[in-house]
């Protein structure tokens, strides 16, 4: 049996995501995903191995979509504007893909996987996060003149924690309020400007 086409894979991952958000990850089974997606059970086992594989793939897809937007926004030469753009990209992600945002906000890998994440999953996550961390380091170096733990933590509060808190606060609303983008940009800019040497 051939692996499903990309579209079929997205349908499967959308179904797994919906089930995990509606009933919690422990209630999700291969049979439930097959029923919700219309994909044969055999296809799911062939493509993903087991329920952990499907849930992991849905979570990783959400993370990848988030990171693509954030990294695309991070290339501004001014560190403050780079940080503001990264924070704004996180909010746009939540607006454009609210179910993916909820999946990342509400479920951690340990929630998705029986037995918790293994070394291979952690290594994959480290590889995925490395470019984002490097941008945070660059912003810290440009603002503070160094990228030590404290400096990266300070930049992360502005660029990561503020949008995370805004998205979490409104995760179950029908839509993010229109004013969140402007308010978050102002707060992020103010905080980052306070760090300039």
Distances (CA, A) of 38 to 9, 10, 49, 103, 167: 11, 12, 17, 22, 31
Cα–Cα distance for residue pair 25/12, rounded to 1 Å: 15
Residue 1 pLDDT grade (very low, low, confident, very high; cuts 50, 70, 90): very low
Question: What DSSP string runs through 23-80?
Answer: H-GGG--HHHHHHHH---HHHHHHHHSSHHHHHHHHHHHHHHHHHHHHHHHTT-SSHH
pLDDT digits (tens, 9 = 90+) for 158-174: 999 999 999 999 998 99
The structure tokens 């509606």 sit at 22
- The backbone torsions φ and ψ at residue 175, rounded to the nearest 5 degrees and listed phi first, read -160, 155
Q: Are 46 and 30 in contact (CB under 8 A)?
A: no
Which tokens sit at 92? 């746009």
pLDDT digits (tens, 9 = 90+) for 113-167: 776 667 888 899 999 999 999 999 999 999 999 999 999 999 999 999 999 999 9
For the segment 95-99, the average pLDDT, to the nearest whole number, is 96
Q: What does pLDDT average to over the chain?
A: 91
Residue 197 pLDDT grade (very low, low, confident, very high; cuts 50, 70, 90): confident
Cα–Cα distance for residue pair 16/10, rounded to 1 Å: 10
The structure tokens 């990228």 sit at 147
Helices (H), 97-118: 98-106, 109-112
Indicate the pTM of the whole model: 0.90
Q: What percent of the chain has pLDDT over 70?
A: 95
What is the torsion angle, in degrees rounded to the nearest 10, for the CA atoms of residue 55, residue 19, residue 108 and residue 178? 120
Geometric angle at alpha carbon 37, from 114 and 170, rounded to 5°: 70
Cα–Cα distance for residue pair 105/93, rounded to 1 Å: 12
Residue 7 pLDDT grade (very low, low, confident, very high; cuts 50, 70, 90): very low
> Shortest CA distance to 179 belongs to which of 95, 64, 122, 117?
95
């Amino acid at each position: 049996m051939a692996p499903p086409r990309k579209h079929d894979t997205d349908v499967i991952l959308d179904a797994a995501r919906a089930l995990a958000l509606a009933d919690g990850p422990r209630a999700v089974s291969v049979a439930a995903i097959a029923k919700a997606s219309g994909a044969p059970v055999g296809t799911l086992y062939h493509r993903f191995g087991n329920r952990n594989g499907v849930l992991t793939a849905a979570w990783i897809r959400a993370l990848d979509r988030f990171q693509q937007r954030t990294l695309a926004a991070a290339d501004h030469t001014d560190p403050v504007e780079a940080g503001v753009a990264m924070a704004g990209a996180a909010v746009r992600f939540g607006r454009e893909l609210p179910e993916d945002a909820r999946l990342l906000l509400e479920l951690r890998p340990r929630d998705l996987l029986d037995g918790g994440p293994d070394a291979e999953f952690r290594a994959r996550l480290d590889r995925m996060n490395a470019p984002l961390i490097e941008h945070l380091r660059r912003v810290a170096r440009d603002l503070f003149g160094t990228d030590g733990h404290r400096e990266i933590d300070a930049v992360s509060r502005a660029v990561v924690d503020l949008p995370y808190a805004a998205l979490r606060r409104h995760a179950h609303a029908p839509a993010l309020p229109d004013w969140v983008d402007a308010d978050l940009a102002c707060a992020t800019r103010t905080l980052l400007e306070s760090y300039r040497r």
